[in-house]
Structure 1
């Protein structure tokens, strides 16, 4: 607890015991001056007590100093001494008392400072000891954990060692079996090599025979190739002759085609003339049709001309019949022209030949 807190605690302890304000202020002055070595002032008194007006702590402070001076004054009672000597002697003793009290107060202050220093050092040592204790406890816990982990690790290593020993024994057994299998495989390999040598010799003999057959076949193939070359040369000659004959036939065909094209042009010209004649006949027929229409119109105009118109109509119909016959005859003209445009069969046979 700090000094300030202790002062407040002491004041609160006497506050209930001393209800009077002046008495309370004087008691606080006594506590501050004699117990804590603090010179009391009006402001400090009011800050600690906070009771009454601001003049109350000042009056109490004046009364405190008067009482203190009165109590510290020494009176020397002697019947033979003059009053001045008595007063001087009393003042001297009072001065000595004051100086002694001041020295005692200084000693007390130094002692208090030293005590506080010792207390602080003790607290520091205590804190360091507690820190060391906590560190030691932490190290102890860590050491215990390390020991426990080491123990578990040792047990784990023992288990792993047992597993490794079992695995080693298994590997030893597997190695022995592998050695036996290796010996068996070497024997089988030696036998396979002997079989392979025999088969290789057989293959060499078969290969030699095959090479001989191949050489004979190659000779036969060369002879066949020569014969095929001769046949190919003969075929090429025949192909050349055939091409020449085909070219001659193609030339004859081209000449015949030119002749036929000329005949076709003449036939087309004749057909054009016939077409012109047909157009003229159609125009005449159209005129006759128009005349017939006009006659029919005139017939409707009066019954008086009916006989004449019927006679003309009959005549016109006869003319139409004649024209139709002529048209039919003209229609057969293109067929005749087409037949005349066809080449003679004898010439076609020659072309085909």
Structure 2
């Protein structure tokens, strides 16, 4: 397929060259016939000629083709001119020589065709090799340009990395100096922290001893107050019982007196003559009732005083408990303040780095 395409391209170029050399239509068709038959081994036809030349009318290629075949037959015949040979022998000898010449020309044409095919194949292979070589050359150029670009980028990156490395080395040196200073300051702060811890431990022991003593005192005070409260509660209960008994007795006496008064009032109308005796009895009852009321008031006053004293003891107990809670809170805050503030004070007192 590729060989046919190459042959058609070569045939088109040869026909264009013949167009420039021969301007006459018949001469152009005759030369194209010779080109097809002798060079390319193609049997010319009228349609083929007209498709290739496209000049003149349709009769022009047919006329040129007939003339070509007539000239070819005339040239292929060999005349034997000898005075002693008969005419029939001359004709047979001429035909034999013409046949030999035709066969030799056909063999030469086949050899030429094979050589032309081999040459065209070699040309095609050479062109293909040239195309491959050009493609490889272009690829190598692109590769070389890519490698050159990569080398330039690598050079730029190396320069950038060198600058970054120099900056990193300077930064590392500065950081190492700062690290050494920080280690020195850290050692000093560690020593100060150890001192602060020892002082804090001593003060904490003191605070613990004071807290323990205060707690013991608070416990003893609380126990004493609880005992006082129990005694007051017992006394209050006793007074309450006495008050209840006195109230009950007063109520019973009042009821009895009221019953007697009712009885006296009922019998007052019937025994006016006994008014003096009844008034004396009424006076005695009133005096007894007043005395009972007075005793009840005194008992109520004593109960109120007992309750007031009990509330006072309770208030004192609550004050003691509140003081103990405040003391414990102060101790806890003192411990927190000692833990958090003393290292900070020591740190603020440390030399500046």
The two structures share one fold, judged by TM-score above 0.5: yes
Q: 1:239 to 1:81 in 2, by over 3 A?
A: farther
Q: Does 1:230 align with 2:234?
A: yes
**How many Å apart are 1:5 and its aligned residue?**
4.0
Q: Does 1:169 align with 2:173?
A: yes
Give the aligned partner of residue 140 of structure 2: 136
Q: 1:163 to 1:85 in 2, by over 3 A?
A: same
Q: Does 1:60 align with 2:64?
A: yes
Q: 1:235 to 1:157 in 2, by over 3 A?
A: farther
1:101 to 85, 100, 105: 105
Using the size of structure 2 for normalisation, the TM-score is 0.61
Q: 1:162 to 1:27 in 2, by over 3 A?
A: closer
Give the aligned partner of residue 148 of structure 1: 152
Alpha-carbon distance in structure 1 between the residues aligned to 2:16 and 2:187: 108
Give the aligned partner of residue 188 of structure 1: 192
Give the aligned partner of residue 122 of structure 1: 126
Alpha-carbon distance in structure 2 between the residues aligned to 1:12 and 1:142: 45
Uncovered stretches (5+) of structure 2, i.e. residues with no partner: 252-353
Secondary structure at the counterpart of residue 79 of structure 1: coil
Alpha-carbon distance in structure 1 between the residues aligned to 2:148 and 2:76: 70
Secondary structure at the counterpart of residue 220 of structure 1: helix
Alpha-carbon distance in structure 2 between the residues aligned to 1:223 and 1:38: 147
Alignment of 1:1-353 (within 5 A): 2-15=6-19, 21-230=25-234, 233=237
Using the size of structure 1 for normalisation, the TM-score is 0.61
**How many Å apart are 1:141 and its aligned residue?**
1.7
Q: 1:54 to 1:145 in 2, by over 3 A?
A: closer
Alpha-carbon distance in structure 2 between the residues aligned to 1:208 and 1:11: 131
Uncovered stretches (5+) of structure 1, i.e. residues with no partner: 246-353
- Larger radius of gyration between Structure 1 and Structure 2: 1
Alpha-carbon distance in structure 1 between the residues aligned to 2:25 and 2:145: 61
**How many Å apart are 1:8 and its aligned residue?**
4.0
Q: 1:205 to 1:58 in 2, by over 3 A?
A: closer
Alpha-carbon distance in structure 2 between the residues aligned to 1:202 and 1:93: 150
Alpha-carbon distance in structure 2 between the residues aligned to 1:11 and 1:204: 126
Q: 1:47 to 1:118 in 2, by over 3 A?
A: same
Alpha-carbon distance in structure 1 between the residues aligned to 2:239 and 2:91: 181
Higher RCO (CA-CA < 8 Å; seq separation 6+): 2
**How many Å apart are 1:187 and its aligned residue?**
2.3
Q: 1:27-83 CA distances to partner (integer Å, 9 max, x unpaired)?
A: 332222123221111221232234455444333322221111111111122212221
More moved, 125-134 vs 232-241 = 232-241
Q: 1:235 to 1:164 in 2, by over 3 A?
A: farther
Alpha-carbon distance in structure 2 between the residues aligned to 1:109 and 1:182: 102
Alpha-carbon distance in structure 1 between the residues aligned to 2:12 and 2:190: 108
**How many Å apart are 1:106 and its aligned residue?**
0.5
**How many Å apart are 1:226 and its aligned residue?**
0.9
**How many Å apart are 1:192 and its aligned residue?**
0.9
**How many Å apart are 1:157 and its aligned residue?**
2.5
**How many Å apart are 1:100 and its aligned residue?**
1.3
Alpha-carbon distance in structure 1 between the residues aligned to 2:48 and 2:119: 26
Q: 1:236 to 1:89 in 2, by over 3 A?
A: farther
Alpha-carbon distance in structure 1 between the residues aligned to 2:116 and 2:67: 29
**How many Å apart are 1:235 and its aligned residue?**
7.8
